Amino acid sequence: MIRYILIILALLSFNIFAERYKGGYVNGKWYAFYNNNYIERNCIDGFENEPLGGCGHQFPFLLQKIELSVIGVAEIKNKENDALEILLKVSDFKIENSDYEGEIYTPYAYPVPPEKKGKPYFPKFSSIPKDEFLKFLKDNNKNLKFNNKEWVEEYEGKKVKFSGVEIIKLNLFGSFYREGNEIWISCVGF
Each residue's pLDDT tens digit, 55-82: 544 455 666 678 899 999 999 998 888 8
177 contacts 60 by C-beta, under 8 angstroms = yes
Among the residues of the chain, which ranges form H helices?
Answer: 2-13, 38-45, 130-139
Looking at residue 145, its pLDDT comes to: 93
Residues spanned by the domain of 104: 2-186
Q: How far is CA 98 from CA 2, 39, 63, 65, 79, in A?
A: 34, 20, 5, 8, 30
What's the mean pLDDT when you consider all of the chain? Answer: 76
Each residue's pLDDT tens digit, 118-166: 889 888 888 889 998 999 899 889 999 999 999 999 988 889 999 999 9
Looking at residue 115, its pLDDT comes to: 85
Looking at residue 41, its pLDDT comes to: 58
What 3-state class would DSSP assign to 80? coil
Counted domains in the chain: 1
Q: Which candidate, 96, 90, 44, places its Cα nearest to that of 68?
A: 90
